[in-house]
Chains A and B, each alone.
Chain A
Amino acid sequence: MPTPAAAESADVRIEEEHIEIARKRFNEAKRAERNLGWMLVAPAVVIMLAVTAYPVLYSVWLSLNRADLRKPNGNKFIWFDNYITVLSSPIWWTAFGVTTLITVVSAALELALGMILAIIMHRTIVGRGLVRTSALVPYAIVTVVAAFSWRFAWTQDLGWLSSGDSAPLTKFWSSIGIIILAEVWKTIPFMALLLMAGLALVPEDLLKAASMDGASAWKRFWMVTVPLIKPAILVALLFRTLDAFRVFDNIFILTSGANHTSSVSMVTYSNLIRGLNLGIGSAMSVLIFITTGIIAFAFIKLFGAAAPGADSGGRR
Chain B
Amino acid sequence: MSIICLGIEGTAHSFGAGIASSDGNVLSNIWDMFSPDEGGIHPREASRHHSDVGPSVIRKAIEVASIDVTDIDLVAFSRGPGLGPCLRTTATIARALSLRLNIPLIGVNHCVAHIEIGCLESGFKDPVTVYVSGGNTQIIAYAGKRYRTFGETLDIAIGNMLDTFGRDVGMRFPAGPRIEREARNASNYHQLPYSVKGMDLSYSGLLTAAKRLVSEGVPMADACFSVQETAFGMLAEIAERAIAHTRKKELLLTGGVARNDRLTDILLGVAKRHNAVFHRVTPSLAGDQGAMIAWTGILQHEAGDRLNIADSIVLPKWRTDEQDIVWRKS
A and B interact? no
- Which residues of chain A have a CB within 8 Å of any CB of chain B? none
